[in-house]
Structure 1
Amino acid sequence: MNQLQEFREKNGIIIAAHRGTNGGNILQNTSKAYYNAIRHKADMFEVDVVRSQDGDFFAFHDGQEPLVFNDNFDIRTLNAKEITSKTCFNSVHEPINQKIETIEQILDTFEGQVFINIDRSWFYWDTFLDKLKGYKSLEQILLKSPVERHLLEKLRDSGLDVMYMPIVKTMEELDLVLNFKGLNIVAIELIFETLDTDLVSPKTIQLLKNKGLLIWGNALTLSDTIVLSAGLDDDSAIENDGQSWGRLVKLGFDIIQTDWPYLLYSYLTANNLKNN
């Protein structure tokens, strides 16, 4: 049993904070957002990855440039110096002194403290996997990617010993990862638009449980049109006293990613689904 599974056994449902907990004067994907998430009872936070033109890795979700920098450009076309010189803007579009941070800065800051889910790094696995090998606390990292055979092979062949979670959207993808050898698969992220899909059927959920795999669900609400968990999301939970979170738990999900970790924590503890 790995550390993440042990944590689940001991502490109940695992709370993952989407890009940390941001808002007000706190920027997403920054140390302040991650500290904030921990103080809001998150057990894990998500870190997005981009690579600069000169090969440095930053905690940022490309596409968010207009929101964070109040400017329309592609951060991946800039070098590291240009990225760190950019003025950032808070949630009410006021310029602030905070800057985008490197992945190395984030990992060093939170070494040994909390589980870290690394997202969107697979675009850069030609250099990122070797970079990650130098991190001292790999046991706290949960790496993820879509289910594409070339990605699975690249991670396997890299020799990187890290917990891995594939992002599964179809039964065919699930079959591929369950039969793929040489990876430390500890969890499965399920993306599903409806509840009548085989992906979240009792049979499939029990299959994953029998294999000792944790199941990750996304309660975060990205937009009114993007569906990650058949409408069992944060918006619905806020409107209906957490019932959608409860339905995810009843379906068998072990990890819930949210933008509102303390609200989720309060719901889980009130319903004896999480230890204080």
Structure 2
Amino acid sequence: MKHLFKQIFSGTLLLVGFNANAQVDKLIKQLHNPNDKNVLVAAHRGDWRNAPENSLQAYKLAIDMGVDIIEVDLNRTSDGVLIIMHDETIDRTTNGKGKPSDYTLEQLKKFHLRNGLGVVSNHSIPTLEEVMLLAKGKILINLDKSYPYYNEAYRVLKKTGTLQQAIFKTDAPYIDVRAKYPTILDSITFMPVVYLDKPTAKQIITEYQKEIKPVAFELIFAKDTSGIISNNAFIPQHGSKIWINSLWASLNAGHDDDLAVEREDIKNSWEWLINQHARIIQTDRPKQLLEYLKRLSLHP
């Protein structure tokens, strides 16, 4: 009987592992398919409305909510450990002061994150490794502020077996990225960030398309008069998705989350973004965006 119980328990663990891997494999396949009509939802800093931003709890809540991607902001301690921290200092988001590089990981873990009201919580600053282990087999990761740390992040991802789940990004032009990371660029899932209001935007996109095939282009624009916005079908035609942020107006010419939720004008916010071929939307309102996409059968 004891042997039978062990067999059943082992089989259950294998089934859970298989289901988890199947889930993330589906997301990876969708990410790499520029013709998939469904929209991937990225939660900015996790579910920060219900837990401290960039905390493990914020990421867990986002995963449980059913989002496809969580965003993490990379920084580094004095002993070289990659941690998750948006700001250059820990002043705003914790009960500590100074830069992450002023502290070892052990010292940094003694501070606690503040919630959205500024109240100190029981949550500590997570490491990239902790986040990747939480996300393993479940969800994709947007590695924001990662450009200085590609090599270190790559090692963490290889160690945790999560390399295919992570999206590396930067607004640097191709020639600079290739010079800085000549080998690693061909081994990672990569997304350039392009500011469409700049006159060099089309040139940057074209060069990346010529040299490599990025998984997506993150398009940022304060005005919606760019010719690339009105005629951007060439991006998915060349094998890349379009990522647009709906966070705040300066990133999307006013077609933002608050317009959708607070003013109930979805037509000129999320619908507009989707009509511009956005197949990945990073949002501060993941719950409402998921509900909207499901009504349109644009999210499983």
Shift of 1:42: 1.0
2:233 maps to 1:206: yes
**Gap runs ≥5 in structure 1:** none
For the pair 1:236 / 2:259, whether they are aligned, the reply is: yes
Q: Structure 1 stretch 182-191 or stretch 99-108: which is displaced more?
A: 182-191
Q: Name the SS of the counterpart of 1:179 in structure 2.
A: helix
User: C-alpha displacement at 1:256, in angstroms?
Assistant: 0.4
Residue 77 of structure 1 deviates from its aligned partner by: 2.6
The alpha-carbon distance between structure 1 residues 127 and 138, as it changes in their structure 2 partners (threshold 3 A), is closer
2:225 is matched with which residue? 196
Corresponding residue for 1:116?
141
Residue 275 of structure 1 is matched in structure 2 by 299
Match of 2:110 among 70, 85, 96: 85
Q: Is residue 179 of structure 1 aligned with residue 207 of structure 2?
A: yes
Match of 1:69 in 2: 94
Counterpart selection for 2:45 from 10, 15, 19: 19
> What is aligned with 1:54?
79
Equivalent residue number for residue 166 of structure 1: 192
TM-score by length of 2: 0.80
Whether contact under 8 Å (1:3, 1:139) holds in the other structure is no
What are the within-5 Å matches in structure 2 for residues 91-106 of structure 1? 91-106=116-131
CA distance in 1, matches of 2:90, 2:60: 22
Query: Which aligned runs of 4 or more in structure 1 are off by greater than 3 angstroms?
Result: 4-11, 125-135, 180-184
How far apart are residue 86 of structure 1 and its match? 1.2
43-52 or 168-177, larger mean C-alpha shift = 168-177
Q: Are the counterparts in 1 of residues 52 and 115 from structure 2 also a CA contact under 8 Å?
A: yes
- Look up the equivalent residue of 1:21 and give its one-letter code: D
Percent identical among aligned pairs is: 27
Q: Choose 1 or 2 for highest CA Rg.
A: 2
Q: Is the 8 A contact 1:168 1:189 kept in 2?
A: yes
Higher mean C-alpha deviation, range 53-62 or range 129-138: 129-138
Greater Cα shift, 188-197 or 166-175: 166-175
Displacement of 1:137: 2.4
From 126, 129, 143, give the equivalent of 2:168: 143
2:183 alignment partner AA: D
- SS of the residue corresponding to residue 87 of structure 1 reads coil
Q: CA deviation at 1:271?
A: 2.9
CA RMSD of aligned residues (A): 2.5
1:183 Cα deviation from its structure 2 partner: 4.2
Query: Take 2:160 and 2:203, find their aligned partners in 1: how far apart are those partners?
Result: 31
- Report how far residue 65 of structure 1 moved: 2.6
SS in 2 for 1:118: strand
Kindly state the Cα deviation for residue 161 of structure 1 after the two structures are TM-superposed. 1.5
Please give the TM-score of this superposition, normalised by the length of structure 1.
Answer: 0.87
Describe the superposition over 1:41-99 as per-residue Cα deviations: whole angstroms up to 9, x where unpaired.
Answer: 31111111001111100011124633321454222332212211113322233322210
How many residues align? The count is 268
Counterpart residue number, 1:4 = 30
Long gaps (5+) in structure 2: 1-27
| Alpha carbons 2:193, 2:220 under 8 Å: kept | yes
Offset at residue 31 of structure 1 (A): 1.9
